[in-house]
Amino acid sequence: MRIFIRRRITLEEILERIEKLRSIYGNIETVYKQALSSDTRLLEIYLEWKALRDALKEYEEDGETLYTIEQEVKPEIARRLFTKNMLKLLGEVRSSESISALASKVGRSVANVYRDLKFLESIRVVVLRREGKRLRPELLMRELVLQL
């Protein structure tokens, strides 16, 4: 059994990935030319790089991107994701304006909700955005997939 998270990618991740590709391969045009000479591995790299550039452009125009990635989740992380409290938290995160508002919705202390949000942020399921003095949780995860 395998568990995957499908999630949006953040602007910071887009920039990191593009920079990593640039440092390894130089520029996208070079990768494209080499990919045309039947190097399928480079074709995959070119397609990812192009998708990242498109996502960056989309982010610049709309303030967000729909570009999603799939990441496998380790069993110990999955166990924590599937707890009653965590599922309730994930269900309410999308409509919350602050951590304290989210804590009220799920009937838990701000400290416990914050701790869980930091865990979710560490596995890139949630990002915490600073808005003035408060942190607003933003859900990146689109799907949690259980594959048998």
Q: What is the pLDDT of residues 112-125, one digit of tens each?
A: 999 999 999 999 99
Using a 10 angstrom Cβ sphere, with 0-12 exposed, 13-18 middle and 19 or more buried, the burial of residue 118 is exposed
Residue 1's pLDDT is what?
85
What pLDDT does residue 92 have? 94
Q: Looking at the structure, tell me whether residues 7 and 65 fall in a common domain.
A: yes
List the domain range (segments joined by +) for residue 7.
2-69
Same domain, 55 and 42: yes
Domain assignment present for 25? yes
Last residue of a domain, one of 69, 100, 126: 69
Q: Would you state the pLDDT for residue 14?
A: 95
d(CA 125, CA 26): 31
Note the pTM of the prediction, 2 decimals. 0.82
Give the pLDDT of residue 94. 87
Tokens of 20: 């990593």
Q: Parallel, antiparallel, or unpaired: how do β-strands 68-73 and 134-139 relate?
A: unpaired
Residues 6 and 47 in one domain: yes
Whether residues 64 and 115 fall in one domain? no
Is 146 domain-assigned? no
Residue 147 is assigned to a structural domain of this protein: no
Q: Which pLDDT belongs to residue 125?
A: 95
pLDDT value at position 33? Answer: 87
Which CATH number fits the domain that encloses residue 94?
1.10.10.10
pLDDT beneath 50: ranges in the chain: none
